[in-house]
Structure 1
Amino acid sequence: MTRYFLFTVSFVLLLLLGCSTDQINTNNEEETGTPTTSYFPPIDSNLWESISTEELGWNLTAEQPLYDFLVENDTDAFIILKNGRIVWEKYFGDFTQDDNHAWNSAGKTLTAMTVGIAQEEGFLNLDDSTVDYLGEGWSSMSLEQEQAVTIRNHLTMSTGLDYATGDIFCYDPECLLFKNEPNTFWYYHNAPYTLLDQIVTGATDVAFKDYFYKKIRDKIGMQGLWVSIGYNNIYFSTARSMARFGILNLNNGVWDNEIILGDTTFLRDMKNTSQNMNPSYGYLWWLNGKLSYKAPGSEATFNGKLIENAPNDLYAGLGKNDQKLYVVPSQDLVIVRMGGDAGEAQLGPSSFDNELWGLLNDLMQ
């Protein structure tokens, strides 16, 4: 999609959500020392505590090279949070704090947590067959083959559906063909992921979008909307809303003492290797620090960790055109990047990740 389309949709969303472009950044509360407690921005206010790079003892001379890199790579918004507090918040060009941007596949992480909540509330089980919620004939496979595919397979990109049909986004039955037995091959196939929306709807008897808004978005002060574009459901929001979701994950499903997702087993499994074909993939989250990884659009296995320069415990939501949501528990960090393609037009990981983390390491040393 073009940048003009993104900004057009963004403008419409602003009208729908009642956002005001005359709001100012009011993250001005004075901090003394370096807070180590978790901070949660209020859900009904634009206030957000901040802490400076100087207070953190970071390398101030590294700020300009990082800024220049972000400008050169078509960035719209960039945020660094430490323990939930804003360290860096930058907007570029005409993009502002109140503008909405597509998450692209970084939004898969929203779906993962929504599925976890539906399971916790007893509406479904990850080991249930897809047929239980989509009915027979959701694909062009035999009934036996359909019944073998579980919700967990959709979460882990291990359905075995044919990804060489010419359109990895198409989830019409004629596009969903048998290729491998479930749990035997990993491929970044978007259609089986998108079907999770229908699975949640079928399980809860509530439209997926509305279920997500009620269970996650509204509870943590996010804004934004799911927008259907072709076969894809794309989430659009401000960079700060993406940052809020990062804080929720950094705090293991808890928002300021309110439990949003309390299933510790699901949370653990979501952020760890979910199958034995691609160790760098959890439940729709990308994982760093593993011995190998597979990438979208390829059957190959690559040796080494996903992002060489990044901390081993980093997990990330990664979307087309380099939409990034990084969470680093060991450093209490959440980092958000929204913008245009930085050069590779990848659906998920790209060389941009490694270059960016080299500069972030310089800043945080």
Structure 2
Amino acid sequence: MNKIVYPLLLVLLSVSCSSESPDPPPSPIETLYFPPQTSDIWETKSIADLGWKQTAVQPLLDYLALKNSKGFIILVNGRIVLENYFNGHSASAVWYWASAGKTLTATMTGIAKDQGLLNINNKVSDYLGTGWTSAPLAKENLITCKNLLAMNSGLNDGLGDNVSPANLQYVSDSGTRWAYHNVYVKLQDVVAKASGQSWTNYFNTQLRDKIGMTGGAWIPSGEGLSVYWSTTRNMARFGLMTLNKGKWDGTTIVSETYFNQATTTSQNINLSYGYLWWLNGKESYHLPGSQLQFKGSLIPTGPNDMFMALGKNDQKIYVIPSKKMVVIRMGDAANPSNPTFGLSGFDEELWTKISALYQ
């Protein structure tokens, strides 16, 4: 009896085990995509492929059009999910970055640092000589390159955009006061001196050409300042490089060590500011033109790990590492009656519309 039963049990167990469906293979992790450097070919990803809500797309686009937008792109894993142009703008048209371009200067400073050309902890006068401000010499010599990156130079931010020495006046010792100030542009002079090249040439060869930002250019805007102009896709290329912590398709543009420092709180006054990058999800923040501290996150409707390049009249680069996502917005001021230097109520409203795509 036992000799018959045991073989039957073994057969039954074998059949039972073999009839079970095998565990499905794990979903492949989608690699980060980089468009070619020398062409405008760009892979896409559909809303359906991502499992996002198609019904949330049109309300977002209607809102962008209403709010004077010109170009808008969402990338996920480097692929274009949405790309739209409004109000007569086009994919080939250029537009200004305004203060969103500060992050280009931060990146170039990091590149020069990586190449051993400068030390951000050195005083600015090591590179520009003394007298680049009208501060007393002892106070001027306290100001380091890092202070310009962190916006805590101690210079008076209430004297307008001009960065001539007469307009760069002492208010407090560097490191003791956070104030949004165009003095950061002196870093471009530092990089030029340290590299022995013009700012434009060093920028083009070390960043622009390496990531395919073809056609972009620095345009003088008066008072010692230049503003970067490019297509919306060029801005998206820069955002994609920053999503990948300073690398472009395996090539290091700026070191990850520096990039992590740039996108981390840089001083203990404005927790929401790195090296010319704005940081979401912090406990408090300061705004341009104010010494007040506000509690909470910069953009409560946006992801907490988001870091941002924010420019006048709502030029935006949002980078969200947790979602492998980059969002670009170019255009005129969303609310012309209340234009800002960067952050505005538009950010909160826009992120309510964007997050509706995937929530």
TM score, norm. by length of structure 1: 0.89
Structure 2: stretches of 5+ with no match in the other structure: 1-26
State the 1:34 CA deviation.
Answer: 8.6
1:153-181 CA distance string (max 9 Å, x none): 0001000001223x1x1111111111000
CA distance in 1, matches of 2:111, 2:40: 27
Q: Secondary structure at the match of 1:105?
A: helix
Match of 2:186 in 1: 195
CA distance in 2, matches of 1:34, 1:41: 21
CA distance in 2, matches of 1:156, 1:164: 17
CA distance in 2, matches of 1:75, 1:252: 28
CA contact (8 A) 1:157 1:187 kept: yes
Q: Which runs of 4+ in 1 moved over 6 A?
A: none
The one-letter amino acid paired with 2:243 is L
CA distance in 1, matches of 2:304, 2:220: 35
Larger radius of gyration: 2
Structure 1: stretches of 5+ with no match in the other structure: 1-32
| Counterpart among 256, 261, 267 of residue 254 in structure 2 | 261
Match of 2:92 in 1: 98
1:53-97 CA distance string (max 9 Å, x none): 011110111111101100110000000000000000000122110
Match of 1:362 in 2: 356
State the 1:265 CA deviation.
Answer: 2.4
Match of 1:116 in 2: 110
| Counterpart among 296, 309, 316 of residue 324 in structure 1 | 316
Match of 1:146 in 2: 140
The answer as to 2:232 corresponding to 1:239 is: yes
State the 1:301 CA deviation.
Answer: 0.8
Match of 1:126 in 2: 120
**Could you tell me the percent identity over the aligned residues?**
46
| Counterpart among 86, 89, 104 of residue 83 in structure 2 | 89
Match of 2:211 in 1: 220
Work out the number of aligned pairs and report it. Answer: 329
CA distance in 2, matches of 1:150, 1:313: 28
Match of 1:276 in 2: 268
| Counterpart among 134, 149, 154 of residue 155 in structure 1 | 149
Match of 1:136 in 2: 130
CA contact (8 A) 1:34 1:55 kept: no
Q: Secondary structure at the match of 1:364?
A: coil
Q: Secondary structure at the match of 2:226?
A: strand
Match of 2:281 in 1: 289
Match of 1:11 in 2: none
CA distance in 1, matches of 2:91, 2:257: 35
| Counterpart among 163, 174, 199 of residue 182 in structure 1 | 174
Q: Secondary structure at the match of 2:269?
A: coil
CA distance in 1, matches of 2:53, 2:186: 45
CA contact (8 A) 2:131 2:165 kept: yes
CA contact (8 A) 1:128 1:151 kept: yes
Q: 1:337 to 1:35 in 2, by over 3 A?
A: farther
State the 1:134 CA deviation.
Answer: 1.0
The answer as to 2:33 corresponding to 1:42 is: no
Match of 1:314 in 2: 306
State the 1:208 CA deviation.
Answer: 1.1
CA contact (8 A) 1:34 1:56 kept: no
Match of 2:325 in 1: 333
CA contact (8 A) 2:105 2:185 kept: no
Q: Secondary structure at the match of 1:163?
A: coil
| Counterpart among 68, 84, 102 of residue 62 in structure 2 | 68
CA distance in 2, matches of 1:311, 1:141: 40
The one-letter amino acid paired with 2:345 is S
1:204-249 CA distance string (max 9 Å, x none): 1111111111101000101200111012210000000000001101
Deviates more, 1:341-350 or 1:317-326: 341-350
CA contact (8 A) 1:295 1:348 kept: no
Q: Secondary structure at the match of 2:57?
A: helix
CA contact (8 A) 2:220 2:226 kept: yes
CA distance in 2, matches of 1:260, 1:197: 17
The one-letter amino acid paired with 1:249 is T
CA distance in 2, matches of 1:173, 1:45: 43
CA distance in 2, matches of 1:324, 1:35: 28
